[in-house]
Amino acid sequence: MKGNVLIVGGAGFIGSHCAKMLVKAGWTVTVYDNLSKGYREALLYGDFVEGDIGDKQALLKLFEEREIDAVMHFAAFIEVGESVKKPELYFNNNTEKTFILLDAMRQRGVNKFIFSSTAAVYGNPQFTPITEEHPCAPISPYGESKLRVEEKLATLTNNGMNSVIFRYFNAAGADPAGELGERHNPESHLIPLAIKAALKKRDPLSVFGTDYETKDGTAVRDYIHVNDLCKAHILGLEYLMNGGKSNLFNLGNGEGFSVREVLKSVEKNLGVPVPATDCPRRDGDAPTLVGDASKAKSVLGWKPDIPNLDDIVKTACNFEKKL
Ligand SMILES: NC(=O)c1ccc[n+]([C@@H]2O[C@H](COP(=O)([O-])OP(=O)(O)OC[C@H]3O[C@@H](n4cnc5c(N)ncnc54)[C@H](O)[C@@H]3O)[C@@H](O)[C@H]2O)c1
């Protein structure tokens, strides 16, 4: 065995895929999740302990019982719109509870931490592709709740905690073997929404903004396959286990795809149309959000294995058809 990894939020979309990849790669995995958004059916790899990251006593006990080498953090609320309506919920769950987890780690001498941050920390892009040097000016409480953790991690580095922060762009796709996939409730991500609309599991899709200065007038986003994110997490883990110091990386495909391109890809994969209605632009939506992940490539040796949109969408379609 390579080492003991605690995955908090491992019953959710990205965490469950990471648990699978880590177990397959020979790591010992414990998943810790309060199941507020995750699924028991996604708990296929590693030991499961039910609990909340704000429960310090439970975490202290867990760290005492299992010799945890590193913590991967996926436990958060992720709805930008909800965060605007209920900011305190997001600062409590995503920020304050993460501080409790970090404190429990410090008390038990666990000093390697991998944190799922988000491109939402950048706010409205001043340039694209967005590099890690882009100023951080989040425009939602969700983005702010993550940035506050990043800032805390920067201060903890001086006290011996080494962390790898990953700022993801749009996580997408599903386990190519079909065991796991994306099941947010409510779902707000374009690819699963388009697939559900095509399969008549929901109303027609709204395409917000068709007059942007982009290739076809619709908004362009950077979709990265969930397994490529997981691959980066394993490289980040190895980096820390080998004595690497705190660092932060963008994770994106480097290529942007428009809303219309995503819909076409879903239609091509499923062989049926995606019912969709053109709507005006939404406030706060940037025309283009694409990440520059060259730092993760040069420092960690990472590169996406599934960069092609049709391949990403295919894995998502296969999972959705089974639900
Ligand atoms: N999905 C994306 O496109 C995306 C993009 C950027 C960043 N991220 C970040 O990646 C992480 C994972 O996202 P996801 O899409 O897998 O979300 P998800 O909702 O599928 O998974 C989150 C998991 O965390 C659990 N959880 C939430 N609060 C908890 C708490 N207080 N204690 C214990 N467990 C708790 C939930 O039950 C769920 O299983 C999040 O931190 C998110 O902010 C996701």
What are 120's two structure tokens?
């939402």
CA distance 323 to 320: 5
Q: Kindly report whether the peptide bond that precedes residue 129 is cis, defined as omega within 30 degrees of 0.
A: yes
- β-sheet bridge partners, residue 113: 71, 163
CA distance 298 to 52: 36
Does pLDDT of 191 surpass 80?
A: yes
CA distance 286 to 233: 28
CATH number at residue 260: 3.90.25.10
Residues 306, 242 within the same domain = no
CA distance 223 to 170: 5
Mean pLDDT of 4-21: 98
**What pLDDT is stored for residue 323 in this prediction?**
87
Instruction: Name the residue among 169, 302, 289, 290 with its Cα closest to residue 247.
Output: 302
**What pLDDT is stored for residue 139 in this prediction?**
92
> What spacing in Å lies between the alpha carbon of 75 and ligand 1's midpoint?
5
Does pLDDT of 42 surpass 90?
A: yes
- Please, are residues 206 and 239 in contact by the beta-carbon 8 Å criterion? no
End-to-end distance of the chain based on CA atoms, in angstroms? 34
Share of the chain above pLDDT 90, in %: 94
Does pLDDT of 289 surpass 90?
A: yes
CA dist 237 → 9, 26, 232 (Å): 17, 13, 8
Number of domains in the chain: 2
Does residue 184 lie within any of the structural domains?
A: no
pTM: 0.97
To test the pocket of ligand 1, the residue of 116, 183, 221 to mutate (highest count of ligand atoms within 8 Å of its CB) is 116
Task: Give the residues surrounding ligand 1 with Cβ less than 6 Å away.
Answer: 8-9, 11-15, 33-38, 52-54, 74-76, 78, 93, 97, 116, 118, 168, 170-171, 184
Does residue 31 lie within any of the structural domains?
A: yes
**What pLDDT is stored for residue 283 in this prediction?**
82
Does residue 81 lie within any of the structural domains?
A: yes
| Confidence class for position 232, pLDDT limits 50, 70, 90 | very high
Structure confidence by residue, pLDDT tens digits, 234-262: 999 999 999 999 999 999 998 899 999 99
Does residue 180 lie within any of the structural domains?
A: no
Q: What is the 3-state secondary structure (H, E, C) of 54-78?
A: CCHHHHHHHHHHCCCCEEEECCCCC
Residues 90, 230 within the same domain = yes
Coil/strand/helix, residue 89? helix
At position 220, the amino acid (one-letter code) is V
Q: Containing domain of residue 278, as a range?
A: 190-221+254-289+299-322
Mark whether 142 is an active-site residue: yes
pLDDT higher for 146 or 255? 146
Does residue 181 lie within any of the structural domains?
A: no
Structure confidence by residue, pLDDT tens digits, 166-181: 999 999 999 999 999 9
Mean pLDDT of 54-58: 98
Does residue 102 lie within any of the structural domains?
A: yes
Coil/strand/helix, residue 237? helix
CA distance 147 to 122: 9
> How many other CB atoms are there within 10 angstroms of residue 205's CB atom?
22
Catalytic residue among 122, 142, 168, 223: 142
